[in-house]
Amino acid sequence: MSVDRAPFLKWAGGKRRLVPFIAAALGLERFRTTGESLPAPASTGERTKRWRRLIEPFAGSAALGLALAHLFDELWLNDVNADVINVYAVLRDCPEGYLEEARALFAPETNNPETYYRLRDEFNRTRSPRRRAALCLYLNRHRYNGLCRYNNEGEVNRAFGRYKRP
């Protein structure tokens, strides 16, 4: 059985299509074939070789980490963008609260330019890690091409993307 571990963030430079090649370079022979789907985490007794730690230095959408995390004891994500790392830290530390807060932002009535720009302004003002992480996800899925861009003041300034199903 294969499991789709697609990244939940849109991110320029994502490594999703490279996962089979990177996995092969790490010595995971079963991924050497291009396009082979990734296996579900093994049930007890049929576990694939595990390594101690996978370090993803340029995480972005964490495509590699999400796809291979079940093969490692630890997953370390790093990125130059503090907001994307905050999303993963909040998700790790407070998953239920984060998901509840993010879910409320994805109601059909929030998919419009007025709400987007209001929430973008809130994102640029807020310092609450959990609220900022939820808003980061909303902005990522609703902004034009999902691209993250900051102005000279460090504020996100990307335009609304007009997606039917962000």
| Residue 49 resides in a domain | yes
One domain for residues 73 and 108:
no
CATH number at residue 113: 1.10.1020.10
- Which of 27, 44, 77 corresponds to the end of one domain? 77
Mean pLDDT (whole number) for 60-88: 93
| Residue 84 resides in a domain | no
| Residue 88 resides in a domain | no
Range of the structural domain that residue 113 is part of: 94-146
Are residues 76 and 59 in contact, defined by beta-carbon separation less than 8 angstroms? no
Tokens representing 33 are 């074939």
Are residues 134 and 105 in contact, defined by beta-carbon separation less than 8 angstroms? yes
Are residues 13 and 58 in contact, defined by beta-carbon separation less than 8 angstroms? yes
pTM more than 0.85: no
Tokens representing 4 are 């789709």
Query: How far, in Å, CA of 166 to CA of 144, rounded?
Result: 11
DSSP 47: P
What DSSP line would sit under 68-100, residue for residue? HGGGEEEEEE--S-HHHHHHHHHHHH-HHHHHH
One domain for residues 22 and 56:
yes
Contacts of residue 87, Cβ cutoff 8 Å, sequence gap at least 6: 9, 133, 136, 137
| Residue 36 resides in a domain | yes
104-127 pLDDT tens trace: 999 999 999 999 999 999 999 999
One domain for residues 21 and 69:
yes
Mean pLDDT (whole number) for 18-44: 64
Query: How far, in Å, CA of 96 to CA of 118, rounded?
Result: 25
